[in-house]
């Protein structure tokens, strides 16, 4: 629903007449693309849809194109011979279809954009909370944030952590649907994905994909262990299933990095990976967290669930900051191998620097690993996400090894993570 709604809204905003072709519902229309003349193709599609606008006043939308991936290869004709006509294509599990397709893609003539779940600012806008969003965007360190703004932002962010960012679920929540209705929609989305997986059963057992997804949800915040998938599941099969879920963008894999310099990917270790889901709402559907007339309050959730939700929602937001609509950003994590324990939840490249991120589900927690990491890597700035009001402080501490370390710590409540790039610029570190 999300991508289709976006294209329809784009056509409305740009005042273009939408010529929409659903290649899954009407597979016969794919045959029209066998002609090598884009003018004729457009004319035939327009005739079948009673579309009367000229190409320059139209937007051609090829929905569910995974049902006919060979059509993607034909789009070069439109780019070369009919540039006045904007063409958009969208599909479910499109990466799977492209991997199976024997048709070459029109390199350089087709751009790719990833549609992500709604972020927290978009969630607030969907609920007519622009005044609160303006307060959050106006905050700048080292000033204090109003206690009233902090309390209201926490209230809305807790709701976001239960609803998630899938557009259909957010739309239901915005029209005051019950928590039970929202949960049903989250479960329906899961079933839709699983039904799509069934189309690719020749590549992987659908039940194994589901088991790996359950295992990833149970291990949020921790290293993914393939042996935890289930009895009798081999390491190779579990690894392949996890990578297929990542290829389908239902999971994001977060590799380990030594973090000795940029780029972080130069020292990544794919053998040690975390996994997070596309959206926290899908995690709730898999956990089966309570949902009646209302969602439970944050403190009513089990501590283990609160910890995993915090890890998921932090990764979900940070990953968007690390990437963009046309390329997928990558998160990393760090842990000391051998000897004394030590772990940094997330690492990302932001503003040409390495930013270590400590994630907390409450308002308190030790940071021994972070102190040692900042000493060893000699970094100037770190981020802590928790439930406290935002602040900026200079840390002058000793590591557990007695080493002195000084660095700047940006403390942000999770709801301000979306504003991170601008906030870092104002830190003057």
Give the CATH number of the domain where residue 16 resides.
3.40.50
In the predicted structure, residue 101 carries a pLDDT above the cut 70: no
Across 186-190, 224-228, 230-234, 235-239, least confident range: 230-234
Whether 227 and 305 share a structural domain? yes
Task: Please state the rounded mean pLDDT for residues 269-294.
Answer: 94
- Give me the pLDDT at residue 242, please: 92
Contact 73, 103 (CB under 8 A): yes
pTM of the model: 0.89
- Give me the pLDDT at residue 113, please: 79
Percentage of the chain modeled with pLDDT above 70 = 92
Q: Which residues pair with 376 in a beta bridge?
A: none
Q: Is residue 181 part of a domain?
A: yes
In the predicted structure, residue 194 carries a pLDDT above the cut 60: yes
**Cα–Cα nearest to 289, from 187, 137, 144, 198:** 187
- Give me the pLDDT at residue 153, please: 98
- Give me the pLDDT at residue 176, please: 95
Q: Is residue 363 part of a domain?
A: yes
Whether 94 and 194 share a structural domain? no
**Cα–Cα nearest to 312, from 277, 282, 352:** 277
28-57 confidence digits (pLDDT tens): 899 999 878 999 999 999 999 999 999 999
- Give me the pLDDT at residue 100, please: 62
**Cα–Cα nearest to 288, from 215, 187, 161, 212:** 187
In the predicted structure, residue 391 carries a pLDDT above the cut 90: yes
In the predicted structure, residue 23 carries a pLDDT above the cut 70: yes
Would you give the DSSP letter of residue 288? T
Whether 89 and 162 share a structural domain? no
Q: Is residue 308 part of a domain?
A: yes
**Cα–Cα nearest to 328, from 96, 98, 109, 113:** 113
- Cα 312 to chain centroid distance, Å, stands at 10
Whether 22 and 134 share a structural domain? no
Q: Which of 66, 100, 134 is the last residue of a domain?
A: 100
- Give me the pLDDT at residue 183, please: 97
- Average pLDDT value for the chain: 90
Exposed e or buried b per residue across 389-427, where buried means at least 16 C-beta atoms within 10 angstroms of its C-beta: bbebeeeebebeeeeebebbbbbbbbbbbbbbeebbeee
Whether 62 and 167 share a structural domain? no
Whether 249 and 172 share a structural domain? yes
Give dist(CA 125, CA 156) in Å, integer: 11
Residue 80: domain span? 2-100
- Give me the pLDDT at residue 232, please: 80
234-245 confidence digits (pLDDT tens): 888 899 889 888
**Cα–Cα nearest to 178, from 286, 291, 299:** 291
Q: Is residue 115 part of a domain?
A: no
Contact 290, 302 (CB under 8 A): no
Whether 41 and 143 share a structural domain? no
Structure tokens at 29: 């229309």
As for how many domains the chain has, the answer is: 2
- Give me the pLDDT at residue 139, please: 95
- Cα 224 to chain centroid distance, Å, stands at 18
How many residues in the chain? Answer: 429
- Give me the pLDDT at residue 162, please: 98
In the predicted structure, residue 206 carries a pLDDT above the cut 90: no
Contact 320, 420 (CB under 8 A): no
Sign, CA torsion 276/277/279/285: negative
Whether 67 and 25 share a structural domain? yes
Give dist(CA 95, CA 424) in Å, integer: 34
Q: Which of 43, 65, 100 is the last residue of a domain?
A: 100
**Cα–Cα nearest to 13, from 80, 59, 48, 50:** 59
- Give me the pLDDT at residue 157, please: 98
- Give me the pLDDT at residue 104, please: 60
Contact 165, 185 (CB under 8 A): no
Whether 11 and 146 share a structural domain? no
160-170 confidence digits (pLDDT tens): 999 999 999 99
Residues 6+ apart with CB under 8 A from 232: none
Q: Which residues pair with 393 in a beta bridge?
A: 409
Task: Please state the rounded mean pLDDT for residues 255-278.
Answer: 94
H-assigned helices in 64-119: 70-81, 94-100
Per-residue pLDDT band at 363 (split at 50, 70, 90): confident
Task: Please state the rounded mean pLDDT for residues 198-220.
Answer: 82
Q: Is residue 107 part of a domain?
A: no
50-83 confidence digits (pLDDT tens): 999 999 999 999 998 888 888 888 888 898 899 9
Task: Please state the rounded mean pLDDT for residues 192-215.
Answer: 79
Whether 177 and 93 share a structural domain? no
In the predicted structure, residue 321 carries a pLDDT above the cut 60: yes
H-assigned helices in 248-289: 280-287
Residue 199's Cβ-side half-sphere holds a number of Cα atoms within 13 Å equal to 14
- Give me the pLDDT at residue 102, please: 59
In the predicted structure, residue 155 carries a pLDDT above the cut 60: yes
């Amino acid at each position: 629903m999300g991508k289709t709604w976006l294209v329809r809204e784009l056509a409305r905003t740009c005042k273009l007449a939408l010529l929409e072709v659903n290649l899954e519902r009407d597979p016969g229309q794919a045959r029209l693309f066998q002609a090598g003349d884009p003018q004729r193709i457009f004319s035939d599609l327009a005739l079948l849809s009673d579309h009367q606008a000229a190409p320059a006043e139209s937007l051609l939308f090829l929905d569910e194109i995974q049902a006919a991936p060979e059509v993607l290869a034909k789009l070069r004709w439109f780019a070369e011979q009919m540039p006045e006509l904007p063409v958009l294509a969208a599909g479910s599990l499109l990466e799977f279809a492209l991997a199976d397709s024997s048709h070459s893609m029109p390199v350089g003539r087709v751009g790719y954009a990833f549609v992500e779940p709604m972020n927290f600012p978009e969630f607030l806008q969907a609920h007519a909370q622009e005044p609160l969003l303006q307060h959050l965007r106006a905050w700048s360190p080292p000033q204090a944030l109003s206690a009233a703004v902090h309390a209201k932002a926490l209230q809305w962010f807790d709701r976001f952590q239960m609803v998630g960012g899938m557009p259909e679920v957010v739309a239901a929540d915005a029209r005051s649907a019950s928590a039970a209705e929202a949960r049903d929609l989250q479960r329906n989305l899961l079933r839709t994905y699983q039904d799509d997986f069934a189309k690719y059963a020749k590549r992987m057992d659908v039940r194994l994909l589901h088991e790996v997804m359950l295992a990833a949800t149970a291990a949020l915040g921790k290293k993914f262990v393939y042996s935890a998938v289930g009895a009798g599941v081999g390491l190779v099969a579990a690894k392949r299933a996890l990578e297929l879920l990542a290829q389908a963008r239902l999971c994001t894999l977060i590799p380990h990095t030594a973090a000795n310099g940029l780029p972080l990917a130069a020292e990544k270790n794919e053998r040690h990976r975390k996994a997070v889901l596309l959206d926290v709402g899908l995690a709730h559907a898999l956990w089966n967290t309570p949902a009646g007339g209302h969602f439970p309050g944050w403190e009513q959730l089990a501590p283990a669930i609160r910890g995993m939700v915090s890890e998921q929602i932090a990764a979900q937001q940070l990953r968007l900051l690390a990437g963009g609509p046309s390329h997928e950003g990558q998160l990393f994590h760090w842990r000391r191998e051998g000897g004394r324990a030590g772990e940094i939840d997330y690492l990302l490249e932001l503003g040409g620097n390495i930013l270590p991120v400590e994630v907390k589900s409450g308002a308190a927690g030790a940071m021994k690993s972070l102190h040692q990491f900042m000493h060893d890597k000699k970094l100037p700035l770190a981020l802590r996400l928790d439930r406290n009001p935002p602040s900026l402080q200079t840390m002058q501490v000793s590591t557990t090894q007695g080493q002195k370390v000084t660095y700047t710590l940006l403390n942000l409540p999770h709801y301000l993570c979306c504003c991170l790039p601008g906030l870092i610029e104002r830190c003057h570190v």
